[in-house]
Structure 1
Amino acid sequence: MSTPTMDDAAKVFTDPTAYADDARLHAALTHLRANTPVAWVDNPPYRPFWAITKHADIMAIERDNNLWLSEPRPLLVTAEADDFGKQQLEAGMGLRTLIHMDDPHHRKVRAIGADWFRPKAMRDLKVNVDALAKRYVDKMRDIGPECDFVTDIAVNFPLYVIMSLLGLPEEDFPRMHQLTQEMFGGDDEEYNKRGQSPEEQLTILLDFFNYFAQLTASRRENPTDDLASAIANGRIDGEPLSEVDTASYYVIVASAGHDTTKDAISGGLLALIENPGELERLRKDPALMGTAVEEMIRWTTPVKEFMRTAAEDTEVRGVPIAEGESVYLAYVSGNRDEEVFDEPFRFDVSRDPNKHVAFGYGVHFCLGAALARMEMNSLFSELIPRLESIELAGEPELAATTFVGGLKHLPIRYSLR
């Protein structure tokens, strides 16, 4: 079989700096949607894959989880890191979270934490989240009239929520933040404190695992009413979770549970600053907050991609894809698809319907989606009525990434009641 031709625009998927440059990224994605919606990407040090840029194709692949598998390649990493990760898993040391798993095991493991994110649990949690939102808006007022909204507010608010849900002590929060930053920020020089090699990244993972191994032992000996206890004492077919699955469960909840929300919150505020008419609409009509939050999530799309591998020969949009080949689900592109979203590059706080794919779709739909929505609703419902003025106080900076990311700095000048 002949080697497919690669569209140069598809190189953005393997370039972490592209996600730190919105104009360059979206120019490439717009071109690919129009000309090469199923794009071949062969750009070492990554193994080849097909990039899927149309919303309908992303949805169809997510829906068919028997044909399209998360294992063995759930996200984009270099070939070296991929091989190293598999070796670590075989040695009982690697990361194996919900995003790495397929049904039926995925469904059983997901069920262990699912009750903590259901509507009733969210209603019970809302009073505390609202109180935390007020605490952080008060902090914003107290440190004003300028701050870096990312590092001062957007990082800490969702971190506090998810750590509290797990039942972790507040003195451990900075450590969790640092570990998350290092794990998700390995492509960005500012976050990359320990290096990018697989061995250096493993030291970060081992820090997580060691911390959570102690937590597991504590919660098994003395269970408490928190998510950490539910994970520590979770059972699959009557058997306790393996050490790898237990530690991995903590890692995905503790890291993804706050980092993605931080990106949506900070990117959402920037969108309001850059679109003052939409900020004023939201100020005048607080009933728009629900649709505004969904638009912020679509606009920022903190999780840039997941990957799936074909379980048998198939095709997407007429392009043959062989068994064992992988596809890259370009969520950022799907969320700007002109066939799905009216004026997709317009930020609209009343956009409805808003069928974004920022939380994924199907069996891998984000476990914490309801929590993220609630946190954003609480924070902006507290902030916007108190906001007298706001403007940029410097240049916003996006993080380089190929997986999860958003703003790393958002300097603002403001006045708050």
Structure 2
Amino acid sequence: MTTTEADTATTKPVPDGIARQIVLPEGHRDEVALFAAYKWLRENNPLAQVHVEGYDPLWLVTKHADLMEVERQPDVFTSGGGEEKGSHNPILANQAGDAFTKSLTGGSLRILETVTYLDPPEHTAVKDVANDWFRPANLKRWEDTVRKLAREAIDGKLEVGVNEIDLVKDWAIYYPLHVVMTLFGVPEEDEPRMMGLTQDFFGTADPDTARADVEPLSPEAAAQQWAAAIQDFYAYFDSLVEARRAEPREDLASIIANARKEDGEFWPKTFAYGWFVAIATAGHDTTTTTLAATLEALSYHPETLAAVQQDPKLIGDLVNEGLRWASPVKHFVRRATRDYELRGRTIHEGDRLMLLYQSGNRDEDVFPEPTTFDISRRPNRQIAFGYGPHMCIGQHLAKQELRIMFEELLPRIRSIEVIGERKVMQTNFVGGLKNLPVRLELA
């Protein structure tokens, strides 16, 4: 019997509570129960098709190898709908939410013109607009700027001695936003607006970040908030596109605003907006989550903190393990364009798959003792940035930001202790810690 045949023969029916824990945004508030649900699936039904009320049927993909197999084949597992562009939502929404989106767009689920919603070759063409800017060789020239911003984030918001703060709300959220907005070219005085819109964008299911102009508790509330946030972003970025086309600068916004297609025409503004929204949101929220989660882990592992302080060369390993540990992007959804055999199961054309990166990053087959924070993992095959053509274009910038902050902050930490209740964002998409009271002592 092959491995896949053995897997199929021993699978168990998925309890409704397990499926709901993973699919529903509210299930992600309790990380203990959430990671237990992932573990149950990996052990009992690693590729399970579930039916949660209010949602289309989904395959839950929990194993690292399966995630990579799906992600490397965008022709088989589409992000945006394949030949039927806009027929698929790569970000999980309930049936009411997808229906609301279609009502706004005339029947399409492609509410945002950004790489997340695209497939090759369109995806490749749009990604190439800024791909070179995000390469490590280019990012090196921004090293001094990022380091200056890291020092400002420490000296401007933390004090020598004891700081009793909410590590996320009072500190961690500001540094990644400031870096991205600075490199992007958004004025510092506009950063609070970007922060608010980002919280609207990713906090669609969290009561603490609900917009006043969205009907609470309605089935389509998350989609309403998502659409409203996008429109507010568009209103802001329209003037930015016009300004950079009139007077280009040495910033990322100018590169995107002035990008042209093969025929020499500007890309439509909607594609510029899509780039700007992606950078303004994923470009800082994911880094904030990883920064906070890594420092929380160090608070419980003072021996690891001491080791990195003694040997700063370990910071690269710390960043990689922090990314595995936090896995700030929890899922994307793909749709099968044809029948396909995966782990001994037949995925049928039209089936939807929820790719669970958090689970993949705790896969026992790839990460021994995955519930242990261990910076000595080599190789560390974390897939926090995804895999394949849709691998995050901003991964090198995120790693640069984290590395530089740890280089500046860790030597100054005398102690860090969690002193209150941690709270997690209610979201099944992108997010993590939203509150973490700590006592942080700096030299």
TM norm structure 1: 0.95
1:25 aligns with 2:51: no
Which of the residues 149, 166, 172 maps onto 1:148?
Answer: 166
Q: Name the residue aligned to 1:221.
A: 246
Structure 1 residue 10: Cα displacement: 2.2
Q: Name the residue aligned to 1:136.
A: 153
Q: Name the residue aligned to 2:77.
A: 68
Q: Distance in 2 between matches of 1:108 and 1:169?
A: 29
Which of the residues 31, 48, 65 maps onto 1:56?
Answer: 65
* 4+ residue segments displaced more than 6 Å: none
Residue identity over aligned pairs, in percent, reads: 41
Partners of 2:326 and 2:432 within 8 A in 1: yes
Partners of 2:330 and 2:356 within 8 A in 1: yes
SS of alignment partner, residue 353 of structure 1: coil
Q: Name the residue aligned to 1:343.
A: 369
1:99 aligns with 2:116: yes
Give the residue type in structure 2 aligned to 1:105.
E
Partners of 2:205 and 2:222 within 8 A in 1: no
1:187 aligns with 2:187: no
Shift in CA distance, 43/91, structure 1 to aligned 2, threshold 3 Å: closer
String of CA shifts for 1:255-280, please: whole Å, max 9, x gaps.
11001100000111101112222222
Q: Distance in 2 between matches of 1:249 and 1:89?
A: 19
In the alignment, structure 1 segments of 5+ residues that lack a partner are none
Q: Name the residue aligned to 1:120.
A: 137
SS of alignment partner, residue 273 of structure 1: helix
Which of the residues 297, 308, 312 maps onto 1:271?
Answer: 297
Partners of 2:204 and 2:225 within 8 A in 1: no
Partners of 2:55 and 2:93 within 8 A in 1: yes
Q: Name the residue aligned to 1:405.
A: 431
Give the residue type in structure 2 aligned to 1:397.
K
Which of the residues 79, 82, 106 maps onto 2:95?
Answer: 79
String of CA shifts for 1:244-297, please: whole Å, max 9, x gaps.
222111101111100110000011110111222222221222111001100000
Mapping for residues 384-399 of structure 1, pairs under 5 Å: 384-399=410-425
Q: Name the residue aligned to 2:235.
A: 210
Q: Name the residue aligned to 2:193.
A: 175
String of CA shifts for 1:315-353, please: whole Å, max 9, x gaps.
210111110111011000000000000111110122211
Shift in CA distance, 86/236, structure 1 to aligned 2, threshold 3 Å: farther
In the alignment, structure 2 segments of 5+ residues that lack a partner are 1-11, 81-87, 215-220
Shift in CA distance, 73/91, structure 1 to aligned 2, threshold 3 Å: closer
Q: Distance in 2 between matches of 1:86 and 1:249?
A: 22
SS of alignment partner, residue 315 of structure 1: strand
Partners of 1:136 and 1:157 within 8 A in 2: yes
Task: Report the count of equivalent residues.
Answer: 414
1:231 aligns with 2:256: yes
SS of alignment partner, residue 102 of structure 1: coil
Give the residue type in structure 1 aligned to 2:35.
H
SS of alignment partner, residue 60 of structure 1: helix
Structure 1 residue 136: Cα displacement: 1.2
SS of alignment partner, residue 235 of structure 1: coil
Shift in CA distance, 240/91, structure 1 to aligned 2, threshold 3 Å: farther
Shift in CA distance, 108/89, structure 1 to aligned 2, threshold 3 Å: farther
SS of alignment partner, residue 294 of structure 1: helix
Shift in CA distance, 255/77, structure 1 to aligned 2, threshold 3 Å: same
Q: Name the residue aligned to 2:441.
A: 415
Shift in CA distance, 97/86, structure 1 to aligned 2, threshold 3 Å: farther
1:298 aligns with 2:316: no
Give the residue type in structure 1 aligned to 2:139.
M
Q: Distance in 2 between matches of 1:183 and 1:300?
A: 19
SS of alignment partner, residue 426 of structure 2: coil
SS of alignment partner, residue 60 of structure 2: strand
Give the residue type in structure 2 aligned to 1:94.
I
Partners of 2:93 and 2:223 within 8 A in 1: no
Shift in CA distance, 209/253, structure 1 to aligned 2, threshold 3 Å: same
String of CA shifts for 1:77-116, please: whole Å, max 9, x gaps.
1112223324434489932211110000000000111122
Structure 1 residue 154: Cα displacement: 1.1
Structure 1 residue 29: Cα displacement: 0.6
Q: Distance in 1 between matches of 2:306 and 2:240?
A: 46
String of CA shifts for 1:343-379, please: whole Å, max 9, x gaps.
1111012221110111000101101000110111111
Q: Distance in 1 between matches of 2:93 and 2:112?
A: 13
